[in-house]
Amino acid sequence: MMQLARLVLLATAFAVATFALGWWAVPLVAAGYAAITTAQRGSAILSGVAAMLGWGALLAITASRGPVGTLAAELGGVLQLRPIGVYAVTIAFPGLLAISAAVVARALASARS
């Protein structure tokens, strides 16, 4: 239960930080969380999943307000992807970014100790 609460709070932090500061807030939040939880196993994976959930929520909110499907079709044509591929890449990007930043931050925090 505690892990689920941590996931929801972290996903909310990723969504709010991304909305306020842009995509580069993802590695900052992930690195901050990893530095705080260096003793916990799986914190990098939790960061990645939470980042994907946070961006998924932002994508859902944006989709309810405008023609995201049209944008995905046009961008998919440029990238030679189907619209579902554009959504998959959009959701995978913050997850991979968060995992990378968390692993680096955790290694740096462990090296300092």
Q: Residue 91 above 90 pLDDT?
A: yes
Say whether pLDDT at 98 is over 90: yes
pLDDT for the residue 111: 82
Q: What is the pLDDT of residue 38?
A: 79
Separation CA 90–CA 83 (nearest Å): 11
Question: Residue 67: what pLDDT?
Answer: 81
Tens-digit pLDDT profile for residues 19-78: 999 999 999 999 999 988 877 888 899 999 999 999 999 988 888 887 877 877 887 888
What is the rounded radius of gyration, in angstroms, for the C-alpha atoms of the chain?
A: 15
State pTM to two decimals.
0.88
Cβ proximity of 10 and 99 under 8 Å: no
Residues 41, 88: Cα–Cα separation, whole Å: 27
Q: In the chain, count of helices (H) and strands (E)?
A: 5, 0
pLDDT at position 75: 78
pLDDT at position 78, please?
84
